[in-house]
Amino acid sequence: MSTAESITIDKNGKLSVPGHVIIPFIEGDGIGPDIWRATQPVLDAAVEYAYKGDRKIEWKEINAGEKGYQKTGQWLPEQSLEAIRQHVVAIKGPLTTPVGKGMRSLNVTIRQVLDLYACVRPVKYVPGVPSPMKHPENINMVVFRENTEDLYAGVEFQAGSPEAEKLISFLKDEMNATIAAGAGIGIKPMSAKNTKRLMASAIVYARDNGYPSVTLMHKGNIMKYTEGAFATWGYEAAREQFGDITVTEDEVYEKYNGTAPEGKIVIKDRIADMLFQQVLLRPEEFGVIATPNLNGDYISDALAAQVGGLGMAPGANIGDQCAVFEATHGTAPKYAGRNKVNPSSLILSGAMMLDHMGWTEAADRIRSCLAETVKNGKVTYDLARQIKGSCKLCCSEFGEAIVENICSYPEKC
């Protein structure tokens, strides 16, 4: 009989993680089964290496996407959502978006239904991975993307539909707005509550992980009452909740001669298009980036391109009650079942999950041994074609090579 237990949350909002823990997983669609089969042994090996049997994971499969539809007739079964709520932490592969099924995106739906308001995307260079940057080693940023509002809230109406025409008429007649006839129309909601909780989580992350700054990314010079308000509310959250550990960039120059006081996190903001330039030219100036939904989508993928692409980019969607860690790329159906693609995104997301659980020794082991595997030239096809003299491995072989490093070479990893 299994002795595994679920993670719980205590009265202070902290995770209580048993030594033998149940973690739900969703294989995902397309290449999902391939990358999960490569990932699970890596996670298990790292936990075993770090804790010598005192801690372990019992994996519980839950269904969503194509497998969910095949088994239950639903793309996102309620029992799968309830399993995530019950077990607090889960991990998933990429999910297809059902066409014409009344659901915009399964990934977006999971985030919104479970109120996973922070999409967290660390971007850090792994030595040996090909990069278009001259100094990719300077890239070490974490994007906190607000998940529940902005244009991804899904409040939009098709051009020519009765709903669009009614809304356009209202905006013209009552608000004196100028809108082209026959336009499609969408609403971009942003609120103080949701902005401030995202900013709070970004500051806590910066504090706990040693990042010197949090940058608010916005387009407030044009959209003053949505993105501009996002920046204003972000500064308010820092001042109201973290005044003892934060200082604004303006204060650094006005009061401290341009040098931030020891132990203070600098809060600053950048216009979105400017930030795209600056993370290329001066990446070392940025640590945590807090951003509305659409900006966060763009900047996280652009940063991933600087360190090897989405195949090397981990991610998580985190709320107050549960968290889902995920591969950040799509389902790549043309590669499904071919045991070919790079599983690093899901493997590194698994390391993020272990960090979230407080199992940092295992998480660190995964990251160091993945880096050692790449350094040794053992990589999947996407990297092999860019690294002269490398050894091209299939998806499962790459996972096996990481496991071998985890178990065999403690002095290197």
Is the pLDDT reported for residue 100 higher than 60? no
The b/e string for 280-290 (b: 16+ C-beta within 10 A; e otherwise) is: eeebebbbbbb
Mean pLDDT of 276-292: 96
Please tell me whether 80 is known to bind a ligand: no
Mean pLDDT of 272-299: 96
The pLDDT value given to residue 97:
78
Please tell me whether 373 is known to bind a ligand: no
What's the CA gap between 101 and 81, in Å, rounded?
19
The pLDDT value given to residue 103:
59
Is the pLDDT reported for residue 99 higher than 70? no
Q: Catalytic residue among 219, 264, 340, 378, which?
A: 219
Is the pLDDT reported for residue 102 higher than 80? no
Q: Quick one: tokens of 136?
A: 């990719």
Mean pLDDT of 17-34: 97
Is the pLDDT reported for residue 98 higher than 70? no
What's the CA gap between 5 and 43, in Å, rounded?
18
Is the pLDDT reported for residue 390 higher than 60? yes
| Percent share of the chain, pLDDT over 90 | 88
The pLDDT value given to residue 105:
85
Strand 323-327 with 314-318, pairing: antiparallel
Where in the chain are the domains? 1-117+321-413, 132-149+191-306, 151-189
Q: 409 catalytic, yes or no?
A: no
The secondary structure of 385-409, three-state, reads CCCCCCEECCHHHHHHHHHHHHHHC
Q: Would you say 89 and 358 are in contact if contact means Cβ atoms under 8 Å apart?
A: no
Mean pLDDT of 152-168: 91
Is the pLDDT reported for residue 410 higher than 90? no
Q: Catalytic residue among 49, 69, 125, 152, which?
A: 152
Question: Count of alpha carbons within 13 Å of 95, Cβ hemisphere only?
Answer: 28
Is the pLDDT reported for residue 101 higher than 80? no
Q: 134 catalytic, yes or no?
A: no
Q: Which has more confidence, 152 or 373?
A: 373
pTM value is 0.94
Q: 219 catalytic, yes or no?
A: yes
Please tell me whether 145 is known to bind a ligand: yes
Q: Catalytic residue among 150, 269, 297, 355, which?
A: 297
Mean pLDDT of 350-360: 98
Q: Measure Cα distances from 62 to 38, 42, 92, 104 in Å.
A: 18, 20, 9, 21
Q: 152 catalytic, yes or no?
A: yes
Mean pLDDT of 38-44: 98
Please tell me whether 34 is known to bind a ligand: no
Q: Catalytic residue among 166, 273, 409, 412, which?
A: 273
Q: Would you say 263 and 221 are in contact if contact means Cβ atoms under 8 Å apart?
A: no
Superfamily of domain 1-117+321-413: Isopropylmalate Dehydrogenase (3.40.718.10)
Of 88-92, 97-101, 181-185, 208-212, least confident by mean pLDDT is 97-101
CB atoms within 10 A of CB 110: 23
The pLDDT value given to residue 351:
98
Chain mean pLDDT for the chain: 94
CATH class of the domain whose range is 132-149+191-306: alpha beta
Residues 180-214: tens digit of each pLDDT: 989 999 999 999 999 999 999 999 999 999 999 99
What's the CA gap between 51 and 364, in Å, rounded?
13
The b/e string for 218-227 (b: 16+ C-beta within 10 A; e otherwise) is: bbbeebeebb
Domain 1-117+321-413 shares a fold with domain 132-149+191-306: yes
Please tell me whether 107 is known to bind a ligand: yes
Q: Would you say 319 and 116 are in contact if contact means Cβ atoms under 8 Å apart?
A: yes
